[in-house]
């Protein structure tokens, strides 16, 4: 999943693709590099970012989504707003990617159910008190999100879960603990997405600023693939495609053991 921020203020690429022409050119580059999905977002989710109205968000993303219709890519819209999700699917989006896990605007679950769109449910620790154990908090939050999804009538096979690296994970160690214990999330029974790309915890480990964290990101992609992640949301598609190709080639050569099945 290639990240396409149609925003002026995203943390590592704000302003680079904030018009339809530049955004569509970047989408074409990512597709050529191997992105199966293009995730279009119109509001920065970095801490302290300026909130935008639904109208402003829609003015940014809808022309890009419409421009991607008919390409080989699956199109995802990165939004928590039900109104934006509805218009995005009508414009050609196939997936709704909600960084608030259906808990900011629960009506977004109805949109996904009514349209048949795929759904990415992300965990976040923002605006609430978290449980002290990183995995217990994942289960508590995501189970509530899944209750909302099921009440709306969304089929389980339309859902992917994202543990939300960097979203109110207060320290680098909390993100690293989440990565180390990632396999425990398979107990939820859904495909898992890894969204580590250029996050601050990678900078804390490598000492690099956001734009220089793609090699570190690729390392996390390899680790998380070995732990069973199936979808990777990244800024630099090419480096992650290559890293994952080598990882999968190695996994294919392994002899499965009774306690470890390839994802």
Name the one residue in this structure whose structure tokens are 């995802």. Answer: 76
Whether 169 sits among the annotated catalytic residues: the reply is no
Considering the candidates 81, 169, 198, 233, report the single residue annotated as catalytic: 233
* Token representation of residue 19: 């018009």
SS3 sequence of the chain: CEEEECCCCCCCCCCCCCCHHHHHHHHHHHHHHCCCEEEEECCCCCCCCCCCCHHHHHHHHHHHHHHHCCCCCEEEEECCCHHHHHHHHHHCCCEEEECCCCCCCCHHHHHHHHHCCEEEEECCCCCCCCCCCHHHHHHHHHHHHHHHHHHHCCCHHHEEEECCCCCCCCCHHHHHHHHHCHHHHHHHCCCEEECCCCCHHHHHHHCCCHHHCHHHHHHHHHHHHHCCCCEECECCHHHHHHHHHHHHHHHHHCCCECCECCC
* Token representation of residue 177: 């603990």
Considering the candidates 60, 130, 199, 213, report the single residue annotated as catalytic: 199
Whether 253 sits among the annotated catalytic residues: the reply is no
Catalytic residues: 199, 233
């Amino acid at each position: 999943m290639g990240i396409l921020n149609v925003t002026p203020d995203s943390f590592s690429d704000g302003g680079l693709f904030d018009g339809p022409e530049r955004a569509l050119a970047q989408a074409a580059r990512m597709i050529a590099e191997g992105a199966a999905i293009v995730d279009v977002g119109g509001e920065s989710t970095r801490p302290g970012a300026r909130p935008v109205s639904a109208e402003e968000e829609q003015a940014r993303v809808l022309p890009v989504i419409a421009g991607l219709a008919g390409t080989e890519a699956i199109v995802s819209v990165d939004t928590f707003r039900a109104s934006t999700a509805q218009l995005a699917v009508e414009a050609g989006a196939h997936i709704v990617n909600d960084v608030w896990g259906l808990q900011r605007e629960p009506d977004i679950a109805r949109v996904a159910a009514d349209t048949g769109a795929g759904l990415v449910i992300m965990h976040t620790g923002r605006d609430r008190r978290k449980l002290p154990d990183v995995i217990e908090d994942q289960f508590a939050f995501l189970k509530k999100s899944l209750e909302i999804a099921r009440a709306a009538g969304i089929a389980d096979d339309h859902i992917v879960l994202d543990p939300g690296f960097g979203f109110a994970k207060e320290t680098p160690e909390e993100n690293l603990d989440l990565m180390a214990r990632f396999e425990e999330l398979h107990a939820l029974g859904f495909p898992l997405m890894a969204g580590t790309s250029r996050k601050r915890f990678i900078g804390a480990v490598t000492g690099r600023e956001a734009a220089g964290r793609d090699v570190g990101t690729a390392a996390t992609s390899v680790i998380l693939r070995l732990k069973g992640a199936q979808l990777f949301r990244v800024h630099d598609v090419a480096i992650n495609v290559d890293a994952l190709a080598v990882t999968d080639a190695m996994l294919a050569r392994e002899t499965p053991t009774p306690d470890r099945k390839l994802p």
